[in-house]
Amino acid sequence: MEQFEDHSERIPSKEEVLDVLDVLAKGEKFDHVRERFDDKGLYLLEIKIDDPKTGESIHFEYRRKGKYPEGATASTVVNIEFYSDGQYVNGHNVADLDPKTGMWLYI
């Protein structure tokens, strides 16, 4: 259970998360899908871009370490998710927030 606690970790601001998402989206225009806040700040932010090659949606989802109504995560991450005909196909982690340095590590 302790792996979901975030007592001493720095919480990124919404602006910082948007900067990370902009880097990952390679400057492509994106639309906001959803965002959620709690008393500590932003814990979920999802954006989507349309893949210019396929026309399908690509989502990037930021999740702050912790337990939330939408699920739990053991670390602060950004995932990429691929969709086809509106259905989730697959995805993986593309960035992690290093809890010791507060720096984003792109994968």
With a pLDDT cut of 70, the percent of the chain lying above it is 93
C-beta pairs of 69-78 under 8 Å, 24+ apart in sequence: 70/36, 70/44, 72/4, 73/4, 74/3, 74/4, 75/99, 76/6, 76/9, 76/12, 78/20, 78/21, 78/24
Amino acid letter for position 83: Y
| 25-54: pLDDT as tens digits | 998 899 999 999 999 999 999 999 988 788
| Range with lowest mean pLDDT among 3-7, 45-49, 61-65, 71-75 | 3-7
Residue 3 scores a pLDDT above 60: no
Q: What pLDDT was estimated at residue 5?
A: 52
In the chain, where the domains are located: 27-106
pTM comes to 0.87
Nearest 5°: the CA angle 50, 72, 37 is 70
| 72-83: pLDDT as tens digits | 999 999 999 998
Residue 67 scores a pLDDT above 60: yes
Amino acid letter for position 55: G
